[in-house]
Amino acid sequence: LQIHSALCAPVCVNSDVVGLVYLDARGAEDRVQSEVTAFCDGVARLAGLCLANLKSAALDKRRMSIERELEAARAAQRALLPREQGLLARVRYAMRVIPGAFVAGDLLELKDLGDGLVGVAVGDVMGHGVGPGLMMARAQAALSLGLSRLRDPVACVTEVNRFLASSNLMGTFVTAWVG
């Protein structure tokens, strides 16, 4: 190769070296001139800024996608809840759920069991965030189905507990009152 002089400048994104700008002089070429050092350093810095901007844009795109998914989860969770106030059979109720960043681990289920009876479930899932929010949705759906099908709070809680315990991959739990 007959390289007689070389210049190498790191391309950095934040404090990480992600590449190099390399220049060399070979054979009969003149030596790398001193002003080329500043030029090479400038090109390396510019490349680092460009790569940092590309990385930032990709992160922004991913963040927006996650926010859209979390907003959809929040909307789905709101759809599971009863209206904030109402009358069901002989029971007048009012409630308010205030989620964390996007989803909540609180649950409220009201079911008309017929014959003037109303099934009520109030609970909370351990933890915060999406995982407990999903556990809440599972618990609420199971309680709703159980109350409708069994019409007996004790039998419903026993069935729901078995269901949730048999498929609890997150190691979390639900505290609930059902009556």
Successive 10-residue mean pLDDT values, the chain, 179 residues: 88 95 85 83 96 95 91 82 88 82 80 88 85 85 91 92 85 87
Give residue 132's pLDDT. 81
Q: What is the pLDDT of residue 171?
A: 78
pLDDT at 30: 80
Please give the full DSSP string across 66-80, using - where no structure is assigned. Answer: HHHHHHHHHHHHHHH
| Torsion sign over Cα 76, 78, 79, 81 | positive
**What pLDDT shows up at residue 85?**
93
Angle at alpha carbon of residue 165, lines to 136 and 102, rounded to 5°: 20
CB distance 103 to 70 below 8 Å: yes
**Opening angle at CA 59, ends 58 and 60, nearest 5:** 90
Residue 2: phi and psi, rounded to 5, are: 55, 45
**pLDDT for res 56:** 95
How confident is the model at residue 179, as a pLDDT? 87
The confidence score (pLDDT) of residue 70 equals 84
